[in-house]
Amino acid sequence: MITGNLQMTWCLPFWTPPISTTSRYGSHGAFYRYKNSMGKSLPLFYIYDSYLTSPEAWAHLLTPNGPHSIRNTPYDGVFIALLVEEGHTHDILAAGFDGMYTYFASNGFSFGSSHQNWKAVKNFCDANNLMFIPSVGPGYIDTSIRPWNNHNTRNRVNGKYYETALQAALTVRPEIVSITSFNEWHEGTQIEKAIPKKTPTRLYLDYLPHQPSLYLELTRRWAEHFIKEKEQWLM
């Protein structure tokens, strides 16, 4: 979902390969396309855990002279790799990706998700004609599914954590900011409407004393701010 220039991560039941996605949905008017630096409107794909495949294997597909290159074919796109460790920046470049994103909503969890590193990553991307897409989230708590992971919990602080992350993202002047997430309740990163709810096995987080739409309202406000900021950057 695109809100201004903020892109939301949705919790989906399965992952669909980019080629299958383009073949099935590419002609639909709602299929998102991004206009690249060459003026071509191409599908944009976020590749989660991209580092599990070697840069050499990716290069076969994503570099113009790769033996199985999809560049300048009907299956071409804007391919964004996941940045976790600092060394992944060079791997992503060698692999032929168009950019990198940070995904994780827990500030400090990884090199990529640490706000303090975003300026250096953006400088690397600018120097190598890559997109940098910082990922922001409203907070993080996944102890209902990973009881051992309490040290990565990040309190929402009534929206302040989210706004701090958004401000950190805008500081590096990105083209796109991604949001983790719209509805990943199991990791406590959802921004969709929430009301108090409890089951025999789970207590769902809500936004009290604020309205159920608190994070949607914050997202709308920051999307509008982002658009105005980008207009200033271009002046």
Instruction: Indicate the residue type of 176.
Output: I
Task: Give the integer Cα–Cα distance in Å for 212 and 196.
Answer: 9
- Domains of the chain listed by start with CATH number: 41-234 (3.20.20.80)
Residue 208 CB: number of other CB atoms within 10 A?
Answer: 12
**Which 8-state DSSP code applies to residue 117?**
G
Task: Give the integer Cα–Cα distance in Å for 214 and 102.
Answer: 24
Residue 2 has what pLDDT? 42
Task: Give the integer Cα–Cα distance in Å for 211 and 79.
Answer: 37
Tokens matching residue 7:
């892109």
Closest C-alpha among 8, 25, 29, 131 to residue 75: 25
Non-local (6+) Cβ contacts of 54 within 8 A are none
Sheet containing 2-3: give its strands across.
2-3, 6-9, 177-180, 135-136
Encode the chain (235 residues) as per-residue pLDDT tens digits: 444 456 665 544 445 567 778 888 888 988 999 998 788 999 999 999 999 999 999 999 999 999 999 999 999 999 999 999 999 999 999 999 999 999 999 999 999 999 999 999 999 999 999 999 999 999 999 999 999 999 999 999 999 999 999 999 999 999 999 999 999 999 999 999 999 999 998 888 899 999 999 999 999 999 999 999 999 988 7
CB-CB contact of 69 with 103 (8 Å): no
Residue 9 has what pLDDT? 54
Residue 156 CB: number of other CB atoms within 10 A?
Answer: 19
| Residue 117, burial from CB neighbour count under 10 angstroms (0-12, 13-18, 19+) | middle
Tokens matching residue 131:
């997109």
What is the Cα 123 distance to its own chain's centre? 18
Task: Give the integer Cα–Cα distance in Å for 121 and 82.
Answer: 13
Residue 10 has what pLDDT? 53
Task: Give the integer Cα–Cα distance in Å for 222 and 160.
Answer: 13
Residue 29 CB: number of other CB atoms within 10 A?
Answer: 4
Closest C-alpha among 104, 84, 102, 85 to residue 188: 104
Helices and strands in the chain, H and E counts: 6, 11
